[in-house]
Amino acid sequence: MPWSLLVKTLFHWWVLLGLVLVSGGMAFMPITLRGQGLQPLRQHIMMPYRRVMHLALAGSVIGTLLAAYYHLVTTVAPLPGAYSALILVRLALLGGLAVLVQWAEPDVSVWVLVPGAALLFTQSLLSHSAQLPQPLAPVLADWIHLTFASLWLGGVAMLSFVVTPHAEPKDLGIVISHFSPLAMFCVFAVTLTGIIQSASFVGSLSELFTATYGRTILMKVALLIVLIGFGAFHQQVISPQLQAWALRDRAGVELAVRRFRISILLETVMGVLILLAAGALTALPPSISTPLG
């Protein structure tokens, strides 16, 4: 891989990682930690949750600024006004989310999902899809793809770094049972929209195996399959084992918690690698000819 392409890929990966953590993290509280029974857990993890979210917000701001600077210094033409406006809108949304995370209770309403969704839309408007001759449907597919990927991978990160270190086994089992159906639905949505996007940017089936863009898609699909395996393991094995607290099976519960800590961390690593593949797809030119500038 040429050095310039590697740098561009890393910048795109950094931006995607920040956006996924921020928007997925904002959605985690109202969607996964819902219900009166988890109110004590929500209060207990609020401080570590805010620390992780502030790191994600700061990383997203820095990544956005660095990617814009790289785009500026590597592009001969001046930055388009629409590009600059979208960057400013994204920075304003990140600032508003920082205030919301610090001073509001993120679990009070699903309306906190709106700024996160808007944040992801700014990325879709800068994607390859937006450069197609008829961009409306491709941009919407990209936005849906990114939204459900954020709900899934952002939720995995929250489980790994916020919930698991601080939750009791009983609460952890409930959280997994809440998150697993959402994750499975996200898998379906990500897969469907991914197929639509692949059809838009890969000219033929053979290019999936011969073109760099196509091979990167296959790598992303392979990582996605591994992630699906982790999710099934959590839902079918770990969650029932964690319910053993009610049967006074302390040893079984402790073993399940240890297994989950390891597997959710590995799933987080797989999620980071998927975003790296997505960053490469954003940096690479598509296999078909599009009027990308």
Per-residue pLDDT tens digits for 30-43:
889 887 788 889 88
pLDDT in tens, 224-259: 888 888 888 877 777 777 766 555 667 777 788 888
Cβ atoms of residues 32 and 182 within 8 Å: yes
Per-residue pLDDT tens over the stretch 140-163: 999 999 999 999 999 999 999 999
With b for 16 or more beta-carbon neighbours within 10 A and e for fewer, the 187-201 pattern comes to bebbeebbebbbebb
Range 211-231 average pLDDT: 87
Q: For the chain, how many residues are written?
A: 293
* Residue 213, token pair as written in the block: 């863009």
The residue extents of the domains of the chain are: 3-283
pLDDT tens digit string along 72-113?
887 755 567 788 899 999 999 999 999 888 876 655 566 778
CA angle 158, 221, 148 (to 5 degrees): 40
- How distant, in Å, are the alpha carbons of 19, 79, 109, 200 from that of 122? 10, 16, 23, 20
Residue 194 predicted with pLDDT over 80: yes
